[in-house]
Amino acid sequence: MSGHNKWSTIKHKKAATDAKRGKAFSRISKELMLAAKTGGKDPDTNPRLRTAIAAAKNANMPNDNVDRAIKKGAGELGGAAVEELNYEGYAAGGVAVMVECLSDNRNRTAADIRSIFTKANGTLASTGAVAWIFNRKARFEISGDAADEENLLEICFDAGIDVDDVSVSDEHAEIIAAPEVFDQIVTVLEEQSIVAVESGIVQIPDNEVSISDASTARQILRLLDTLEDYDDVKDVYANADIDDGIMEQLSAE
């Protein structure tokens, strides 16, 4: 879990520094589209969509943007259908990378993803090349006063929900559990009036690659940042464990 939490923390710090509101909206829009596509556009019968809508409201995302994302995911806006695409590859240093996309043009997306890997000294691999390293998990991120490890564990325990891990860092709490209990966690958080800043099914690596070279770390982070900034990308996962001292050095550049 530590690798995922560490990368999650890195992303929090980067987001706080960049303050890119549009980028946050883009990520939430993709989750809204995927939730509507996989579970329908009615939030009353789609827990994943309900929690995505709650995250959108928490981020002050305009209602028009929310409605448009849901309709696009449900296929109501015409044009090419949005589909989920997954890509696997390697970053510098042999780091495994999983990329999840939502696209209305798979040929364009595939070409762009390959180009991004190549320019960052990475390699796009065949399906299954690195997927075995990652496990699908339900993940919830909670911030503010509700980011209380003991309380979140108690809430889940009282509801009879087994969770893999609850951790807190920089006033952000992260709940990790089996994907099968995603809907149950959504429901129990709603009952407690706790809003998840982010939620979804994520990929967590079984093992990590230690990176202690600044040049290699720089190339890895450039690849991950470029992928995350690409419009069609929903999520990016990697099994890099970058040395804290290197991260501080790169953050100061």
- Give 58-86 pLDDT, tens digit per residue: 788 999 999 999 998 888 887 667 788 99
Query: Parallel, antiparallel, or unpaired: how do β-strands 83-91 and 123-125 relate?
Result: antiparallel
Does residue 56 sit within a domain?
A: yes
pLDDT greater than 70 at residue 11: no
Same domain for 197 and 90, yes or no, is: no
Same domain for 95 and 218, yes or no, is: yes
**What one-letter code names the amino acid at 179?**
P
Question: Residue 153, exposed/middle/buried by CB under 10 A (0-12, 13-18, 19+)?
Answer: middle
pLDDT of amino acid 237: 94
Same domain for 61 and 112, yes or no, is: no
Domain end, chosen from 173, 188, 205, is at 205
Does residue 185 sit within a domain?
A: yes
Q: How confident is the model at residue 19 (pLDDT cuts 50, 70, 90)?
A: very low
Q: How confident is the model at residue 14 (pLDDT cuts 50, 70, 90)?
A: very low
Any idea what the CATH number is for the domain that residue 192 is in? 3.30.70.980
pLDDT greater than 90 at residue 122: yes
Q: What is the mean pLDDT of the segment spanning 45-63?
A: 88
Same domain for 223 and 238, yes or no, is: yes
pLDDT greater than 70 at residue 8: no
Does residue 93 sit within a domain?
A: yes
Average pLDDT of the residues of the chain: 87
pLDDT of amino acid 252: 77
pLDDT of amino acid 84: 87
Domain that holds residue 54: 2-73
Cβ atoms within 10 Å, residue 183: 16
pLDDT greater than 90 at residue 42: yes
Whether 139 contacts 179, CB under 8 Å:
no
The length of the chain is: 253
Same domain for 218 and 124, yes or no, is: yes
pLDDT tens, residue by residue, 187-227: 999 999 998 888 888 899 999 999 999 999 999 999 999 99
Beta bridge partners of 225: none
For 98-231, where are the alpha helices, taking DSSP H only?
106-119, 149-158, 182-191, 214-229
Q: How confident is the model at residue 89 (pLDDT cuts 50, 70, 90)?
A: very high
Any idea what the CATH number is for the domain that residue 36 is in? 1.10.10.200
- Two tokens, residue 172: 């952000």
Does residue 59 sit within a domain?
A: yes
How many Å apart are CA 77 and CA 39, to the nearest integer?
17
Same domain for 217 and 231, yes or no, is: yes
Does residue 78 sit within a domain?
A: no
Q: How confident is the model at residue 20 (pLDDT cuts 50, 70, 90)?
A: low
Same domain for 197 and 233, yes or no, is: no
Domain end, chosen from 73, 97, 122, is at 73
Number of domains in the chain: 3
Helix axes of 106-119 and 214-229: crossing angle, nearest 10 degrees: 160
Same domain for 117 and 240, yes or no, is: yes
Percentage of residues in the chain with pLDDT exceeding 70? 91
Token pair 């860092």 is found at 169
Question: What residues have CB less than 8 Å from 146, skipping those under 6 apart?
Answer: 152, 173, 194, 195
Domain end, chosen from 48, 73, 98, is at 73
Query: Parallel, antiparallel, or unpaired: how do β-strands 198-205 and 134-143 relate?
Result: antiparallel
pLDDT tens, residue by residue, 166-177: 999 888 999 999
pLDDT of amino acid 16: 41
Same domain for 114 and 151, yes or no, is: no
pLDDT of amino acid 150: 94
Does residue 151 sit within a domain?
A: yes
pLDDT of amino acid 9: 45
Same domain for 138 and 198, yes or no, is: yes
Same domain for 69 and 6, yes or no, is: yes
Same domain for 138 and 40, yes or no, is: no
